[in-house]
Amino acid sequence: MLAPLRTELGPSALADLLRELLAEARRAVAAGAPPPREEELLQRARERGERLAAGSLVPVINATGVLLHTNLGRAPLAEDALQAAREVASGYSTLEYDLERGQRGARDHHLEPLLCQVTGAEAGLAVNNNAAALLLALSALGAGREGIISRGQAVEIGGGFRIPDVMRQSGVRLVEVGTTNRTYLSDYQAAITPETALLLRVHRSNFALLGFTHEVALADLAALAERHGLCLLDDLGSGCLIDTRRFGLAPEPLVQESVAAGAGLVCFSGDKLLGGPQAGLIVGKRRWVEPLRRHPLARALRIDKVTLAALLATLRHYQRGDAEQALPIWQMIAARRESLATRAERWAAALGGELREGVSTIGGGSLPGQTLPTVLVALPPRLPADQLAARLRAGRPPVIARVVEERVVLDPRTVVSGQEAQLLAVVKAALQS
Domains of the chain: 3-52 (no CATH), 61-73+330-432 (3.90.1150.180), 79-326 (3.40.640.10)
- Residues shown for the chain: 433
For 300, other C-beta atoms within 10 Å of its C-beta total 11
Q: Which of 303, 304, 307, 301 is nearest to 132 (CA)?
A: 301
Tens-level pLDDT at each residue, the chain (433 residues): 678 878 888 889 888 888 998 998 899 989 998 988 888 888 888 888 888 888 888 999 999 999 999 999 999 999 999 999 999 999 999 999 999 999 998 888 999 999 999 999 999 999 999 999 999 999 999 999 999 999 888 777 666 667 788 888 889 999 999 887 889 999 999 999 999 999 999 987 665 666 677 888 999 999 999 999 999 999 998 889 999 999 999 999 999 999 999 999 999 999 999 999 999 999 999 999 999 999 999 999 999 999 999 999 999 999 999 999 999 999 999 999 999 999 999 999 999 999 999 999 998 777 878 899 999 999 999 999 999 999 999 999 999 999 999 999 999 999 988 899 999 999 999 999 6
pTM of the model as a whole:
0.90
